[in-house]
Amino acid sequence: MSTDTKEVVCDDCHTVFHIRTARSYSGSSLGGSVSTLKTPRIKVIGTGGTIASKGESGSQTAGYHVDLTIEDLLSSIPDLSNVCELEYEQILNVDSKEFGEKELLMLHEAVSRSIRDDSFDGVVITHGTDTMEETAFLLQLTVNTSKPIVMAGSMRPSTAISADGPMNLYQAICVACNKESWNRGVLIALNDQIGSGFYITKSNANSLDTFKSVIQGYLGNIVNNEIHYFFPASKPTGIQYFELAPFPKVIVLYAHQGFDPQIVRLCASQLNVRGVVFATMGAGSLSKETNIELYKAWKEFGTPIVFSKRSMDGMVPIANLPRELEIEGKTVQFDGCMASGYLNPQKSRILLQLCLGASMKDRQIADIFKTLSFGG
């Protein structure tokens, strides 16, 4: 494998990045799973996460730290030269809890640039699993392409006995090489399964079998180098694309018994919050008092409120929104509330940010949620 290293300075934050590119050349395709005649060419973008982490011993599966480059990771996979040509780029090396606007913009730029490059057949992103679903959702709504974008991560650090990273990354690269992966949107390939980045969520904080979208299901399965898709290629229902604009401040509030409704006013009045997503109880339940405070915040500060849910599965239907409220004997119309449909709070937050970034008003935002998050 030949390697070139170049230094690039980020215009935005002036950070110096060492971008390493390497190519491996190969002959045969992989166990019948690669259906292109030419050897696929894949861009791998490294951002960090547990997959790039090291612990002190083989049995340590918590308290480890990011310490491996994407080059280290790729060189731990022996069979890659039989699969594709690849080029890699390290844009970040952080735990995914550190992802914010700056990191997302950097990743978005690197993905868009790689997708525009006709020489690449697909893109693989290594990423921490904690916020992988958020990044996948954002990319899904901001990068319009038929090429596969596949996210890979791991639940065990590279030093663990039975580390899952190398196989997960290998499989993600195989998924990106596969012609059947085109036109399916952003994919998350982990633990032998392929899921839609639009819907899938991390369901277990520790287990290898963590990414689930129980109602929507998996798109495919990977066994012994074979990739099996269960359905023909399609993207999530109602998909549409947004321009990336500066992210307006949108927060998620978590509802519970005894929730203090004053928090809503505090956020809107003191913290410059432009939108609120609520992880409601059940399918849109908030106390009467909380709904009244939400209405007041919307009236006074124009803060749209998205009603999402604490439960991993199910949805918030429009019928459960508090569209009419009784306040001091008068009935008021609360048009600033929207139902998240099937989207969880963290994905709803990103959608609300994209809508607000596009200067959309309440009704347009409600329409976007209806089109995008109700599965048609």
Ligand X SMILES: NC(=O)C[C@H](N)C(=O)O
**If DSSP codes are grouped into helix, strand and coil, which group holds residue 105?**
helix
49 binds ligand X (CB under 6 A): yes
Per rule CB under 6 A, is residue 201 in the interface with ligand X?
no
Which residue is catalytic, options 39, 50, 126, 145? Answer: 50
Please, which residues bridge with residue 339 across strands?
Answer: 307
Name the minimum Å distance from CB 220 to ligand X: 22
Give the nearer residue to ligand X in terms of CB position, either 128 or 220: 128
Residue 126 known to bind ligand: no
Select the span of 68-76, 126-134, 287-295, 332-340 touching ligand X (CB under 6 A). 126-134
With CB under 6 A as the contact rule, the residue among 29, 33, 39, 50 that binds ligand X is 50
* Residue 87 vs 95, nearer CB to ligand X: 95
Contact 158, 194 (CB under 8 A): no
Which residue in 92, 111, 155, 351 binds ligand X (CB under 6 A)? 155
Does 96 show up as a binding residue in the annotation?
A: yes
Q: How far is CA 329 from CA 260, 316, 321, 325, 326, in A?
A: 23, 28, 20, 10, 6
User: Contacts with ligand X in 85-124 (CB under 6 A)?
Assistant: 95-97
> Distance (Å, rounded) from C-alpha 122 to C-alpha 111?
10
Active-site residue flag, 69 = no
Q: Is 130 annotated as a binding residue?
A: yes
Among left, alpha and beta (phi > 0; psi -120 to 50; other), residue 272 is left
**In whole angstroms, how large is the CA radius of gyration of the chain?**
22
Considering only 67-75, 128-136, 273-281, 286-294, which stretch makes contact with ligand X by CB under 6 A?
128-136
Q: How far is the CB of 155 from ligand X (least distance, A)?
A: 5
| Alpha helix ranges (H) inside the chain | 70-75, 101-116, 132-142, 165-177, 262-270, 288-301, 345-357, 362-373
- Cα 172 to chain centroid distance, Å, stands at 15
Shortest CB 154 distance to ligand X, Å = 6
Identity at 34, one-letter amino acid code: V
# binding residues, ligand X (CB under 6 A): 10
In the numeric block, which tokens belong to residue 176?
A: 């990106």
Counting Cα atoms < 13 Å in the Cβ hemisphere of 200 gives 31
Q: Is 159 annotated in the active site?
A: no
Catalytic residue among 39, 47, 129, 159: 129
**Closest chain position to ligand X (CB):** 128
Query: For residues 211 and 203, is the Cβ–Cβ distance under 8 A?
Result: yes
Which residue lies nearer to ligand X by CB, 106 or 297?
106
Q: Kindly state the DSSP code that residue 256 receives in the 8-state scheme.
A: -
Of 71 and 95, which has the nearer Cβ to ligand X? 95
Which residues here bind ligand X, judged by CB under 6 A? 49-50, 95-97, 128-130, 153, 155
Write out the catalytic residue numbers: 50, 129
Q: Could you tell me which residues are annotated as the binding site for substrate?
A: 96, 129-130
